């Protein structure tokens, strides 16, 4: 995280040294772009706050720990697609679930769709990509997540067995 601040700071200083005018132009673009997407960001935040309340950790643990492992993989992928969590919440949760005996491939399906498939990022994504392409990209990502989960399962000997 600090690297981001250092890089941004250095880039700003370098830009200022090169041209004050152009730096102001860059900041103007930054503000305009941010304001343009702000409503979609807010919509996303509202959806996230409600869905995280409706889908508590216990519910996630219940579905990911299902006895039928392919049911668990699919529900993990479905839950991961619906939910959006910051990494600092998602990975510790996944770590706890792993200790509880949840399979690697289930956690793989969950974390990959969590990051890659976004029902809740839909308002933001739609604003840039349009409705059709947003749906295609998310559908493709869902299948990629399943493939990654299966490969993970094969590696950890969870697929056959």
Partner 1 sequence: MRRNRIIRITLLSGYALFIVLSWVLGFEPGKEVSQNFATFAIDMLKIVPCAFILIGLFEIWINKETVERHLGEESGLMGYLWAVLLAGTTVGGVYIAFPVAYALHSKGAKLGVIFTYIGTSAICRIPMAVFESSFLGIQFTIIRLLVSPPLVIITSKILGDYLTKRNYKLKQPS
Residues 44-63 that bind partner 1 (CB under 8 A): 44-46, 48-50, 52-53
Tell which one of 74, 82, 98, 135 touches partner 1 (CB under 8 A). Answer: 98
Instruction: Report which of 120, 39, 136 is spatially closest to residue 86, judged by C-alpha positions.
Output: 120
By the rule CB under 8 A, 102 interacts with partner 1: no
Taking the least distance from each CB to partner 1, the nearer of 9 and 62 is 9
CA–chain centroid gap for 125, Å, is 12
**Contact range with partner 1 by CB under 8 A, out of 23-31, 59-67, 72-80:** 23-31
Rule CB under 8 A: choose which of 84, 103, 106, 109 binds partner 1.
84
CA 34 to chain centre: 20
Q: Which stretch binds partner 1 (CB under 8 A): 57-65, 67-75, 92-100?
A: 92-100
Restricting to residues 63-82, name those near partner 1 by CB under 8 A.
none
| 125: helix, strand or coil | helix
Instruction: Tell me which of 103, 118, 142, 158 binds partner 1, using CB under 8 A.
Output: 118
And the tokens for 29? Answer: 């673009």
Based on the shown chain and the rule CB under 8 A, indicate whether residue 29 belongs to the binding site for partner 1. yes
Contact 76, 106 (CB under 8 A): yes
97, 61 in Cβ contact below 8 A? yes
């Amino acid at each position: 995280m600090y690297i981001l601040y250092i890089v941004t700071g250095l880039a700003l200083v370098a830009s200022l040294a090169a041209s004050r005018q152009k730096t102001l132009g860059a900041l103007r673009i930054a503000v305009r772009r941010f304001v343009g997407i702000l409503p979609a960001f807010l919509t996303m935040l509202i959806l996230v706050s409600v869905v995280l309340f409706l889908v508590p950790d216990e519910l996630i643990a219940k579905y990911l720990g299902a006895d039928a492992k392919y049911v668990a993989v699919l529900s993990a992928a479905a839950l991961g697609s619906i939910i959006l969590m910051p990494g600092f919440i998602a990975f510790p949760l996944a770590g706890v679930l792993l200790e509880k005996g949840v399979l690697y491939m289930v956690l793989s399906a969950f974390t990959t769709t969590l990051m890659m498939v976004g029902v809740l990022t839909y308002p933001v994504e739609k604003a840039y990509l349009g409705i059709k392409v947003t749906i295609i990209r998310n559908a493709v990502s869902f299948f990629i997540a399943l493939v990654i989960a299966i490969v993970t399962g094969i590696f950890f000997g969870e697929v056959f067995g």
